[in-house]
Amino acid sequence: MADDRMKQVGAFLARQGILVAFLLFMIGFALANHRFIAIDNVLGVIRSSAILGVMALGVTFVVISGNLDLSVGSMMSFSTIVVLDLHDKLGPALAIPAMFAMTLALGALIGFLVGYLRLNSLIVTLGMLSAIHGLTLTYSGGKNMDIADKAGTWFGGIGRGSVLGIPGPILIFGLLALVLSVTLAKTPFGRKVYAVGGNGTAAIFSGIPRARVVFMTYIISSFCVATAGLLQASRSLGSQNTVGQGLELDVLAAVILGGASLLGGSGTVFKTVIGVLILGFIQNGLLLVGLEFYVQYVVTWVIIILAVWLDVAAKRGRILSPIA
């Protein structure tokens, strides 16, 4: 009976190791500072993490399919600058769909290169990181963007407003996470994404259109990036043309922290959300504890390593690798 119970506990940890780590971090920071679990602080952390989280949702599809997307940071800068610029030229009602169309076109280009031409995703998206950054600077003329009439536009309500006390970015993040989670877990397309990432050759011989599936993962990723750019622009009503620079690494860290494998074939949207929240609450908790910002970088790295180790150790049922 005891052995069966231990096996059940081990099986639970194997499935939810990262969630256990998240709960442990929350309890630890809550004991260190009671303000950590205050409703205002919790909502503030989730709201500030929503932009990163929305981007991570799309990258989850790309990583599960066995590829990478390092262009999301530059693409988010592009989306933010474009929608702010078009806001004053066309009005927000036209600026938003125009920005989404332009961002999706960039995603389609990457998807075509990786999916149909079978180019290495790391090389393609690393190159696109620089190319889109240059495109953003060219579009903006090297200048930052601001909305002229900040008080007279409804555009700010998207990123600054709330519904029943819940900030708009949190609602958008939650709704998008729900839709994409169902898409990945419950639809034929989601099963194809797992199949392509698990064994691309076998997927092709099984009749799965690998190129089309990979192409669509980049479309989903670019849609999420456009949504993040919209939230960023609406929240600030102005932006530097490098606002997304470096975010691609944070996004990838959140996805991997959530349990997705860089080799493809594994990961869930729910665990990516947990990975995003772990990053957000770690930074907030360290701030409340009073650590200097440069110390926070090191402590954050240590905590991330411990969280990933807990998840991996729980899955294999032992602390060290059997070949260590």
Per-residue pLDDT of 299-317, as tens digits, reads 767 766 766 676 566 555 5
**Within a domain: 42:** yes
List alpha helices for the chain, DSSP H: 2-32, 39-64, 72-90, 92-111, 121-140, 156-160, 168-186, 188-198, 200-205, 210-236, 247-257, 269-289, 293-316
Please name the amino acid found at residue 125: T
Per-residue pLDDT of 155-174, as tens digits, reads 989 988 888 888 999 999 99
Per-residue pLDDT of 222-265, as tens digits, reads 999 999 999 999 998 888 888 998 889 889 888 988 888 888 88
Mean pLDDT, rounded, for 265-274: 90
In terms of DSSP bridges, do strands 166-167 and 162-163 run parallel, antiparallel, or are they unpaired?
antiparallel
Domain that holds residue 37: 16-315
Cβ(108)–Cβ(219) under 8 Å? yes
What residues contact residue 1 under an 8 Å CB cut-off, 6+ apart?
none
Mean pLDDT, rounded, for 58-73: 95
* Residue 204 or residue 126, greater confidence: 126
In total, how many domains does the chain have?
1
Lowest mean pLDDT among 20-24, 63-67, 315-319: 315-319
**Within a domain: 90:** yes
Q: Could you tell me the pLDDT band of residue 15, with boundaries at 50, 70 and 90?
A: low
**Within a domain: 10:** no
Model pTM?
A: 0.88
pLDDT at residue 94 is higher than 80: yes
Question: Quick one: pLDDT at residue 313?
Answer: 63
Cβ(194)–Cβ(63) under 8 Å? no
Secondary structure of residue 115 in the 3-state scheme: helix
Query: Which two structure tokens, joined as six digits, stand for 163?
Result: 């519904």
**Within a domain: 323:** no
What residues contact residue 304 under an 8 Å CB cut-off, 6+ apart?
253, 257, 278, 279, 282
Query: Which two structure tokens, joined as six digits, stand for 24?
Result: 């442990």
For residue 25, which of 243, 282, 287, 209 has the smallest C-alpha distance? 282
On average, the pLDDT of the chain sits at: 87
What residues contact residue 21 under an 8 Å CB cut-off, 6+ apart?
278, 306, 307, 310, 311
Q: What is the DSSP string of 155-171?
A: THHHHH-EETTEEHHHH
**Within a domain: 151:** yes
The CA-atom distances, in angstroms, between 190 and each of 19, 65, 262, 287 are: 22, 10, 17, 38
**Within a domain: 251:** yes
> Cα–Cα–Cα angle for 109, 247, 14, nearest 5°?
95
Residue 249, classified by CB atoms within 10 Å of its CB into exposed (0-12), middle (13-18) or buried (19+), is exposed
**Within a domain: 60:** yes
Per-residue pLDDT of 179-195, as tens digits, reads 999 999 999 999 999 99
**Within a domain: 277:** yes
> Cα–Cα–Cα angle for 228, 233, 294, nearest 5°?
75
**DSSP bridge partners of 163:** 166
